[in-house]
Structure 1
Amino acid sequence: MILFGESFIPDTNTFFVLCVVPSDCKKVLDEFPEAKSGQYEIELWTSGKILTVNCDMKTDGGGWTIFHRRMDGSVDFYRNFTEYEKGFGNVDGELWLGLQYIKELAEQGSTEIRLDMARNDSTTGHETCQDFKLTEGNNYKLNIGSCTGLTGKRFAFNNQMSFSTNDRDLDMSSDRNCAVEGHGAWWYNSCTRVNLNGLYVAPGTICEFPGALDDFCGHWHYGFDKLYALRTSSMMIRRK
Structure 2
Amino acid sequence: MSSAAQVAVAALLLIFCSLVAAQLPQRAPTASSKPRFVTQLNVSGCPLVVYDSGEHALEIEPIMCVTGAIEKQPLKLDLISQILYIRVPVLLWDTHMLAQAGLQLRNVSLKPVRFATVTNIGALATKSSVIGFEWSSNHSAGVLKIGINNTEAALMMMTRETSPTDALDQVQLTATILSNRKFRQVTLRPVARNRGFTELSLLSARYELETCSDIKFVHLMHHRNRQVRVFQRLDSRGAYYIEPLLWSVDKSTYGPVEYDYGRNMHYLKLDLVLQDETTLDAVRTQLAELSPRSVEFMRLWAVERSVSSLLSSRFEVGPLMVSADWKFAQLRLYCRSIKQCTNLKSNVMTKDPFAFWYHINWHPTSIVNSDCLFKSDSTVSSGKTESSTDAISCSRSASCAYLRSLARSGDLSFGKLKRLADGRWFFIIQQRVSAEESFRRTLASYIRGFGNENNFWIGLNRIASLTDGGATLRVEMKLWNGTEWYAEYSNFTVEGVGSMYRMTYREMLRDKSNAKHDAMQYHKGMQFSTINVDNDRDRRKSCSNAYGGGGWWFNSCYHFNPNGLFPTSPTINLKYMLWHSDRWMSIRLVRLMVQL
Question: Normalised by the shorter chain, which TM-score bucket?
Answer: 0.7 to 0.9
Q: For the structure 1 residues 60 and 176, does the alpha-carbon distance in structure 2 shift closer, same or farther, using more than 3 Å as the test?
A: farther
1:232 equivalent to 2:570? Answer no
Q: 2:461 aligns with which of 88, 95, 100?
A: 100
Provide Cα deviations, 1:181-232, integer angstroms capped at 9, x if missing partner.
11121100011100000000124223xxxxxxxx21101111287142x110
1:145 equivalent to 2:506? Answer yes
SS in structure 2 of the partner of residue 85 of structure 1: helix
Q: For the structure 1 residues 119 and 17, does the alpha-carbon distance in structure 2 shift closer, same or farther, using more than 3 Å as the test?
A: closer
Are the counterparts in 1 of residues 464 and 496 from structure 2 also a CA contact under 8 Å?
A: no
SS in structure 1 of the partner of residue 474 of structure 2: strand
Distance 2:583 2:405 in 1: 35
Offset of 1:80 from its aligned partner? 0.6
As a proportion of its length, which structure holds more strand?
2
Report the equivalent of 1:68. Answer: 430
1:163 equivalent to 2:528? Answer yes
Distance 2:479 2:583 in 1: 8
Offset of 1:115 from its aligned partner? 0.5
Q: 1:124 aligns with which of 484, 504, 509?
A: 484
Offset of 1:122 from its aligned partner? 2.2
Q: For the structure 1 residues 136 and 98, does the alpha-carbon distance in structure 2 shift closer, same or farther, using more than 3 Å as the test?
A: closer
Are the counterparts in 2 of residues 119 and 225 from structure 1 also a CA contact under 8 Å?
A: no
Q: For the structure 1 residues 102 and 49, does the alpha-carbon distance in structure 2 shift closer, same or farther, using more than 3 Å as the test?
A: farther
Offset of 1:152 from its aligned partner? 3.0
Are the counterparts in 2 of residues 125 and 224 from structure 1 also a CA contact under 8 Å?
A: no
Which amino acid is the alignment partner of residue 478 of structure 2?
A
SS in structure 1 of the partner of residue 574 of structure 2: coil
1:220 equivalent to 2:578? Answer yes
Are the counterparts in 2 of residues 43 and 50 from structure 1 also a CA contact under 8 Å?
A: no
Where structure 2 has 5 or more consecutive residues not aligned to the other structure, the ranges are 1-253, 255-309, 312-332, 334-343, 360-385, 393-401
Offset of 1:165 from its aligned partner? 0.2
Distance 2:451 2:554 in 1: 22
Q: 2:544 aligns with which of 179, 192, 196?
A: 179
Length-normalised TM-score, structure 2: 0.33
Distance 2:456 2:583 in 1: 22
Length-normalised TM-score, structure 1: 0.77
Offset of 1:59 from its aligned partner? 4.8
Q: 1:58 aligns with which of 420, 438, 441?
A: 420
Distance 1:178 1:222 in 2: 16
Offset of 1:159 from its aligned partner? 0.3
Distance 1:234 1:190 in 2: 23
1:34 equivalent to 2:374? Answer no
Report the equivalent of 1:212. Answer: none
Distance 1:18 1:221 in 2: 40
Greater RCO structure (CA 8 Å; 6+ sep): 1
Distance 2:591 2:438 in 1: 15
Are the counterparts in 1 of residues 389 and 423 from structure 2 also a CA contact under 8 Å?
A: no
1:83 equivalent to 2:448? Answer no
SS in structure 2 of the partner of residue 194 of structure 1: coil
Q: For the structure 1 residues 137 and 123, does the alpha-carbon distance in structure 2 shift closer, same or farther, using more than 3 Å as the test?
A: same
Offset of 1:42 from its aligned partner? 4.0
RMSD of the alignment, in Å?
3.1
Distance 2:521 2:358 in 1: 35
Percent of aligned positions with the same letter in both sequences? 21
Distance 2:585 2:358 in 1: 44
Are the counterparts in 1 of residues 461 and 496 from structure 2 also a CA contact under 8 Å?
A: no
Offset of 1:238 from its aligned partner? 1.1
Offset of 1:174 from its aligned partner? 1.1
Where structure 1 has 5 or more consecutive residues not aligned to the other structure, the ranges are 22-29, 207-214
The alignment of Structure 1 onto Structure 2 pairs a total of residues equal to 211
List aligned pairs for 1:20-31, cutoff 5 A: none
SS in structure 1 of the partner of residue 590 of structure 2: strand
Are the counterparts in 2 of residues 43 and 51 from structure 1 also a CA contact under 8 Å?
A: no
Offset of 1:9 from its aligned partner? 4.3
Q: For the structure 1 residues 197 and 20, does the alpha-carbon distance in structure 2 shift closer, same or farther, using more than 3 Å as the test?
A: farther
Offset of 1:33 from its aligned partner? 3.2
1:10 equivalent to 2:350? Answer yes
The structure with the larger Rg is: 2
Distance 2:589 2:583 in 1: 12
Which amino acid is the alignment partner of residue 416 of structure 2?
N
Which amino acid is the alignment partner of residue 570 of structure 2?
G
Which amino acid is the alignment partner of residue 459 of structure 2?
G
Structure 1 window deviating more from structure 2 (218-227 vs 96-105): it is 218-227
1:199 equivalent to 2:556? Answer no
Q: For the structure 1 residues 16 and 166, does the alpha-carbon distance in structure 2 shift closer, same or farther, using more than 3 Å as the test?
A: same
Q: For the structure 1 residues 227 and 123, does the alpha-carbon distance in structure 2 shift closer, same or farther, using more than 3 Å as the test?
A: closer
Q: For the structure 1 residues 15 and 126, does the alpha-carbon distance in structure 2 shift closer, same or farther, using more than 3 Å as the test?
A: closer
Distance 2:456 2:350 in 1: 20
Which amino acid is the alignment partner of residue 191 of structure 1?
C
Q: For the structure 1 residues 157 and 42, does the alpha-carbon distance in structure 2 shift closer, same or farther, using more than 3 Å as the test?
A: same
SS in structure 2 of the partner of residue 234 of structure 1: strand
Q: For the structure 1 residues 72 and 225, does the alpha-carbon distance in structure 2 shift closer, same or farther, using more than 3 Å as the test?
A: farther
Report the equivalent of 1:189. Answer: 555
Distance 2:494 2:507 in 1: 16
Q: For the structure 1 residues 124 and 180, does the alpha-carbon distance in structure 2 shift closer, same or farther, using more than 3 Å as the test?
A: same
